[in-house]
Amino acid sequence: MSQYTGVAVSPGRVIGTIRSMAPPVAEPPVDETLPAGADPAAEAARIPAAAAAVQATLNRLAERASGEGRKILQATAQMAADPALSQTAHGFVVSGGKSPARAVWEAGDQVASMLEGLGGYMAERATDVRDVRARIVAELRGEQPPGIPETEEPFVLTAIDLAPADTATLDPSRVLALITSDGGPQSHTAILARQLGLPAIVAAKGIHQFPDGTEVFVDAGLGTITDEVTEEHHRFAEAWTELQNNPLTYEGGGGVLADGTRVQLLANIGSAADAEKAAAAHADGVGLFRTEFLFLDREDEPSIEEQTAAYAAAFAHFPGKKVVVRTIDAGADKPLPFLTDADEPNPALGVRAYRTSWEKPSVLSHQLDAIAAAAELSEARPWVMAPMIATAPETEDFVAQCRERGLEPAGIMVETPAAAITADRHLAACDFASIGTNDLTQYTMAADRQLGSLAHLNNPWQPAVLALVKATCEGARAAGGDPESFGESANKPVGVCGEAAGDPGLAVVLVGLGVNSLSMTPRSLPAVATVLSTVTLAQAKDLAAQAVAARTAEDASNAVRAGLPILGELGL
């Protein structure tokens, strides 16, 4: 028997046969040059033709995809059409005598290295460049590019990691589960798997020891894969299949615990289109409106009028309901030419989010003006919060700017350990807090969330992270003067809007720690509501105490799962 463990990013329990991604395109030899007598100009002309063929293929795939997958494929197709790579490779052939394949390989490295040097969001595009490079080389050689296997029977897909173009074409009717040896919980692979509801595990080192054709049981709630498939595993898999055939439903009204305690279940959105989907899923409101998506891929700041229209369009889907608006979270993995410094040596710890207002206050000021104007045009109840807050004076400054514009309630994101530990002082100055578990985990564990090699640390089940969630809730209660206040009636409510909120087991823990509202992708609402309905607040508090006291993240998860048999019954 063999068993491997990775980081669970999208729950589900399945039994299936492993099929591996096709191997990467082999690097052309360093000394591969043009054959004797070849016409350099003619050989170089093959490169843009191959790039055009790759672009056409990606565009065809995009037409068959939808949503985020289509956007990724379209963006990758545009990268294939970018003349920078072809022109650089052309020079290597004509001036350097390299073969077209070798020229493209080196040109791709050059462009990718340049993007990596820029850091942040641009550095992430380096992977896309290398994917396009491999596809062009395969086209030049007449080979099939690497990709998802084509088989009639459904299978468990294993890979080192998936390129955006591959991830975007995942078909849940054929792929039972996805397991990668690299990647992290915030990689595009993990994010898309969650959106598709596809069981997925990342950073599962050793997974490639299983040869193709091996039957395995995948528990994507625990993050384990084993080739010793038992009768119990079959029962778990059957429960998951039953859940897919008869999915859970959520009709709104919040998560109601077994004792009647009510917890708001909200949705994370980035646009009016997302808001429409969230409303259709009966979300009780919006717990995180990521406004930076309006700013990305732009050279200039959008006007107040443009921002107002975008915010009002999203608000329109939630009349009379709470919409928590996060002000621009630029920097780190989301650089903006007009606002952030691409040359920061460590952008995740640099001038990002609220901190950008220190030197360029007008961008935040204009955004708050636009949110206030949109609120006047809408019946929604906007709550506004600032990300990346660390000190009480920062909170006081942001709240003052909100109050000047009549934007209330005004709050903060708790993403730094500093804000969690001193939550009483922050909540004394603001109206609410929302915990971003993705960044709070990254900063607590000193582990870049973009690095697959640190994925085991970037786990919100880490007891240290849960202890900081508890500290935040206790600080809020102290600031509100009522240690027993809970739900929407809490004097100083605390929400969670990171990925942890959509994990049904972890949602119970968060409520037990004192969190008043949970915000997640709309797909997660039914499972979270169902699992919450099986516990009382007292039971949730007991499970939360066990998780905080656990020695490791794995111990914390195991203890809570043992106390929530509903997870196994649902195959989660």
Question: How many angstroms separate the CA atoms of 109 and 130, rounded?
Answer: 7
> Which residues are catalytic, by number?
188, 497
Q: What would you report as the CA-atom Rg of the chain, rounded to the nearest whole angstrom?
A: 25
Cα–Cα nearest to 249, from 522, 16, 538: 522
**172 touches 148 (CB < 8 A):** no
> How far apart, in whole angstroms, are the C-alpha atoms of residue 366 and residue 24?
47
| Three state DSSP letters for 53-121 | HHHHHHHHHHHHCCHHHHHHHHHHHHHHHCHHHHHHHHHHHHCCCECHHHHHHHHHHHHHHHHHHHCHH
The shares of helix, strand and coil residues in the chain, as percent rounded to the nearest 5, are: 50, 15, 35
Query: From residue 62, how far is each of 5, 67, 146 by CA, in Å?
Result: 33, 10, 17
Phi-psi region for residue 199, left (φ > 0), alpha (ψ -120 to 50) or beta? beta
Cβ neighbors of 487 (< 8 A, separation 6 or more) are 261, 262, 263, 264, 516
Which spans in 218-349 are helix H? Answer: 231-245, 272-280, 304-315
CA atoms within 13 A on the CB side of 540: 30
Tokens 């106390």: give the residue. Answer: 563
Q: First CA to last CA across the chain, in angstroms?
A: 23
